[in-house]
Structure 1
Amino acid sequence: MRKTPAPLPDDDTLARHGLAPRGGARVLLIACGALAREILALRSANGWDHLDLTCLPANLHLWPDRIPDAVAWAVQRHRADYDRIFVVYADCGTGGLLQARCAELGVEMVAGPHCYAFFDGTAQFAARAETEFSAFYLTDFLVRQFDAFVWRPMGLDRHPELRDSYFAHYDRLIYLAQTDAPDLDALAQDAAARLGLRYERRFTGYGDLAGALAQA
């Protein structure tokens, strides 16, 4: 039995953040809210005015089993208004369920296991897997939202002593940076210190995300 997905933001809420789809466009991107800033930057830089964007709540990543139903809900909600829908999620911990649901719905999605891989470049990420299996990754979004998406959900604000148990098998934090922002670099270094991990920064830009959107 499928679970009821988390409520989606209504179009008025999305419009206030510049994310609501506009009528008359041909292609709709249904994306994770964690990618909104990067998608809007790519759309603006490339003049992709035919791409409209609607985002699902980024905190669905805390419950990956809810992502397929939420995506299906969004597809069904908007399908009649667009000629094509493209899902800007990777597998994101759904264990192949999102890919299967997209296939059922007849919509395409980004290839890869998660956003770390397509920001780093899926092929490059896979090639490094053997040497980076003990790495904890952050993106620009996760650096900005470290407390909301890492520190508090893991209970480290209430039980900091759990840190050494949770991260016993990690040896470094790798910040996959989409932008050159000294303030984010400082926040990422602070996150690494709080987790007791060695810090590395890798500038990736938008990685494979740009190519995926170009296909749309």
Structure 2
Amino acid sequence: MPAAPSPFRDKVLVIACGALAREILAIIEANGLTHVELQCLPAQLHNRPEKIPAAVRAEIRKLRPHYAHILIGYGDCGTGGLLDTVLAEEGVERIEGAHCYAFFAGLDAFDAEAEAEPGTFYLTDFLARHFETLVIRPLGLDSHPELRDAYFGNYTRLLYLEQAPDPDVEARARAAAERLGLAYAKRVTGYGLLEPRLTTLGA
């Protein structure tokens, strides 16, 4: 007797960084993308980017049999091209861009920002919410604030890329800039390239 078809076989899977979960789920809900499923890996992997390719490969191999198509919700994210090597071997594509800052801002717009202000530290909504746990504590700045210059001495501004308006998140971004001693700037990006990329999945 043939096996029953998987209930997910006509669906599309997005394997993404946990830092994008809120945005991806919002896009799925707003656009009625009932055929798109999300599987997230821990955002903390960004502190050890060399582990991202193997983690992504493991998820692809575990979940591939259940989905018609897989998209990877990562940029290169500091893997030095190793993630793209894994994806080429697995026959899976990812969202364009070096990191989430680029595909939120738009590739050309991000390049222009980076060229105009090379000493920029970027925050997304997620990073603004979790600044303490993802930036301050991993760098030891909670217990050794004197290390600030060692890490951020070459930065001149903090640029907050806003995905969804929220006064509390913006206040957190401003507080992060003040804590690091950087000028504050903000760009409203919305979901950038993420929304059109997700809404065409499986079309």
TM-score norm. by structure 2 comes to 0.93
Cross-structure match for 1:23: 8
Size of the aligned set, in residue pairs, is 195
Partner of 1:187: 172
| Among 125, 131, 134, the residue aligned to 1:146 | 131
The equivalent of 1:19 in structure 2 is none
Who is 2:143 aligned against? 158
CA RMSD, 1 decimal: 1.1
The secondary structure found in structure 1 opposite 2:115 is: coil
Counterpart CA distance in 1 for 2:171 and 2:68 is 43
- CA shift, 1:24, in A, is 4.4
Task: Give the corresponding residue for 1:207.
Answer: 192
1:105 to 71, 80, 90: 90
Alignment of 1:62-77 (within 5 A): 62-77=47-62
| Stretches (4+) displaced over 3 A | 22-25
User: Structure 2 regions of 5+ residues with no counterpart?
Assistant: 1-6
- Verify: 1:120 aligned to 2:105, yes or no: yes
1:58 CA displacement: 0.7
Q: Take 1:161 and 1:119, find their aligned partners in 2: how far apart are those partners?
A: 32
1:79 and 2:61 correspond: no
The CA distance in 2 between the partners of 1:173 and 1:127, in whole Å, is 16
Structure 1 match to 2:159: 174
Give the superposition deviation at 1:157. 0.6
Structure 1 Cα separation of the partners of residues 9 and 82 of structure 2: 31
Task: Percent identity, please.
Answer: 55
CA–CA distance in structure 2, aligned partners of residues 167 and 78 of structure 1: 40
Shift of 1:132: 2.0
SS of residue matched to 1:61 = helix
Letter in 1 for 2:142: D
State the Cα deviation string for residues 20-48 of structure 1 (Å, max 9, x = none): xx734421110101100000000001111
Return 5+ residue gaps in structure 1 as ranges. Answer: 1-21
SS at match of 1:206: coil
Counterpart position of 1:89: 74
- What is the CA-CA distance between 1:215 and the residue it aligns to? 3.1
* Structure ranking higher on relative contact order (CA contacts 8 Å, 6+ apart): 2
Q: Is the 8 A contact 2:9 2:68 kept in 1?
A: no
- Counterpart AA for 1:84: H
